[in-house]
Structure 1
Amino acid sequence: MPVLQDLLDALRTRRVAVVDLTAPLHAGTPVLQLPPPFANTIAFGLEEISRYDERGPTWYWNDIHTGEHTGTHFDAPVHWVTGKDGEDVAQVPAARLLAPAVVLDFSAESADDPDFLLEIEHVRAWEAGHGALPEGGWLLYRTGWDARSADATRFLNADEKGPHTPGISVACARWLAEETALLGVGVETVGTDAGGAHSFDPPFPCHAFLLGAGKYGLTQLQNLARLPATGAVVIAGPLPIVGGSGSPARVLALVET
C-alpha cells in the first residue's frame, strides 16, 4: 500500500502535520443556553467509579455525564426537524468522516462586529481568489471566537437581547445547503448558527437548511488559524450513538508543512 506508506512517512518526517481542532472537554466547557420554556442540555461532568482504591485497586475510571451537543461536536441531519428522516450520527458513513476542507477567515470582521454574518458575496469573493468550494468537503468558518472559549461568559456573549456571536445569513445558509456540493460547515462558536439566529426567518437557518439537505455541522472548533485557506484534510470522529442526533467529537486536520 504505497499511498498509505507515503502518508505515514510524511507524518513521521513532519511533512504533514496533525492539527487538533478540538476544544478540551471539561465541566467549564461552554454549553448553549436556550431561554424558557425550552429544555437545555447538562454541562459535562465526570463521576469517579474507582481510582486505585478499594473500589478498584489497580484501575481508574469514570462515568461521564454530558449532552450530545457539548463542546466540539458533530451535528447529524436528524438533529433538526427538517432532517428528521435523515441520518442519525451512527448512520453517517465512515468514509464521510474524512474530507477536504477550506478555511474562510472573517476573524477581523467578527472582531469589529460580534453579530457579523457571512453572506453569499463573501463566499463568492473567496472563491475568486482560491477556487471553488470543495466537493464533498467542509467549509470551516474562522471568526477568532475560539480565543474566548476558556470563558463561558465571553464565549456565549449574551445580554438582555440574547447572545451575540458571528454566523451565517439566511440567504447564505440556504445557498450553501442547496447550491453547493459541500459536506458541511464547521464553526468556532457554540453552534453553527449566529447568536441572533433565533430571530431570523427561518430561525436557525444553518440547522434548518444544511441538516435538511443531509449535510453536517461541526462546532466549537479551535486552531483554525493554523490551517491554510485550502489543502487541509479534516478527520471528524463522533461517537456512533445509535439514534443519536450528534456527538462530542475529536476533530483533527492534516496539513502539508
Structure 2
Amino acid sequence: MKKYHVFSRIAVPILMVISELAFGQQYKEDVGISPWGAEDEIGTLNMMTETSKLSVLSKIRSGKVYDLSTEYFVGMPSFHSLGDPGYQYWLTHTPHGTAVDNPNGLGEEMNNKVSYTGDAISLYTHMGTHIDALNHFGLNGKIWNGFTPEKHLGDKGWKKTGAETIPPIIARGVLLDIASYKGVKTLPANYRVSAGDLKGALQKQRITLQKGDVVLIRTGQMVHYADAKEFLHEYPGISLDAVKWLVEDQGIMLLGADNLSFEAFPPERTDNWVPVHTYLLAEKGVMFIEQIFLEDLAADRVYTFAFIGASLKLRGASGSPMRPLAIPLN
C-alpha cells in the first residue's frame, strides 16, 4: 500500500495535469441525445438488425461454445469499498429440515421420501459477469438521451433505460488480448490500456474491427478472480483515449473487459471520478460488460466469434447479471 500512496501523491497529479492539458477546457461533458429518437433507451445496441444477426450466425462453422461468464459464490469479488452488499446465499429448505418442519403439511413419511432443497440469493447487480445499463451513470443530473430522475426515477427504479430494456445481443465479437500483446500474464497495477495498445493487438492478431462489433478487452486480471483481495487490488483498465478510438473511429457497438470496473483507478481526470463510464454510458449510449471471462478464448487464440448474450430483465435496474457465449466463426 505504501507504494500505491507514493504513486498517488506524485505520479497521479502529473498524469491528471497532462490529461487536462490534452483535453483542454473547451470540452464539456454532457449527456448525449440519441440519434435513434427521443424514446431510445438502448443506445448503440440499435445497431443490431435481423440482417446483422443472421449474417453473424450464418458464419458459424463450429459447435464449440465458450462460456464467458464467472461463477457466483459467497466471498466473490464485490464493490464493498463503496458500501454495496456482497453476494449472499442461503438454503430455504433441506431434505432433513423439511421432514422436521413439515412446511407442506404432508407429513414425515412423505417428506422423508421426497427430498426437497430450496435456496435464495441476494446480490448487488454489478458483481460477477454483468452488463451496465445506460442509467448506471449520468452527467449533470441527467442520463442518456436527456432522461431525468425528476421525471423518470421512481421508488422501484428507473422508468427509462432499465436493465429490462436490454435486448438479447447477437453480433460479431472480437477479443483483444492486451496481456498477451504486452507479453505478460496480467497487466501491471493500475495500467491504462491505450489506443496504441489496441492497435498493436489488432496488428499482432491479424484482424480488423468492423462497425457494430462487440469488443472484449483482456487484461489478464481474471486469473485472480478466485482471490477477491487480489482481484480487487489496483486492477488495470481501459483509458479514455482508447474507448474514444473504439467508439468514434471504429464504430463499435458494445464493449467488455475482464476486470472489476472496466476503467482503471485513480481516475485520469480531477473533475470526474469515472470518466470512461460517463463517456460511454451518458455521452455515447454505449453499454459495456464487466468481469467477463476471456481466459479460454485467449488460450485457444480465438479472436473472432459470434457473440451471444442476454441479461436478466430486472425492471428499472442499473445493471444485470449476464451469461455471454462465444462461438468461433469460420
- Fold agreement, TM-score > 0.5: yes
Matched, 1:137 2:180: no
Question: 2:166 corresponds to which residue?
Answer: 92
Change (3 A) 1:198 1:26: farther
Q: How far, CA to CA, are the matches of 1:93 and 1:60 in structure 2?
A: 33
Residues 154-213 of structure 1, C-alpha deviation per residue, up to 9 Å, x if partnerless? 1011xxxxxx11111222233333343212211111111113337665322221111121
Q: Distance in 1 between matches of 2:268 and 2:313?
A: 29
Of 119-128 and 193-202, more deviation after overlay is shown by: 193-202
Q: Secondary structure at the match of 1:222?
A: coil
Whether the aligned pair in 1 keeps the contact of 2:215 and 2:254 (CA below 8 Å) is yes
Alignment-derived partner of residue 274 in structure 2: 204
Task: Give yes or no for the alignment of 1:180 onto 2:259.
Answer: no
Task: Say yes or no: does 1:218 pair with 2:289.
Answer: yes
1:104-183 maps to which residues of 2 (within 5 A)?
A: 104-108=176-180, 109=182, 111=186, 113-128=188-203, 130-157=206-233, 164-183=234-253
- Letter of the 2:192 partner, please give it: L
8 Å Cα contact 1:17-1:256 kept in structure 2:
no
Task: Give per-residue Cα distances to partners, 1:112-140, cap 9 Å, x unaligned.
Answer: 62222111222233445534323222111
Aligned to 1:19: 66
Moved more, 108-117 or 205-214: 108-117
Bigger Cα Rg:
2
Higher helix share: 2
Match of 1:61 in 2: 118
CA contact (8 A) 2:269 2:275 kept: no
Please name the residue that 1:189 is paired with: 259
Find 2:310's aligned residue among 229, 237, 240.
237
Unaligned runs of 5+ in 1: 158-163
Look up the equivalent residue of 1:115 and give its one-letter code. Answer: N
Letter in 2 for 1:141: I
Which range moves more in the overlay, 144-153 or 205-214?
A: 205-214
Give percent identity, aligned residues only. 24
Query: Residues 226, 81 of structure 1: CA spacing in aligned structure 2 closer, same or farther, 3 A cutoff?
Result: same
What is the RMSD of the two structures over their aligned residues, measured on CA atoms? 2.7
Q: Structure 1's 231 and 61: CA in aligned 2 closer, same or farther, altered over 3 A?
A: same
Give the TM-score taking structure 2 as reference length: 0.64
Structure 2 unaligned regions, length at least 5: 1-53, 105-110, 148-159
Count the aligned residue pairs: 236
Secondary structure, counterpart of 1:243 in structure 2: coil
Correspondence 1:77 to 2:141 = no
Aligned equivalents of 1:90 and 1:81: distance in 2? 18
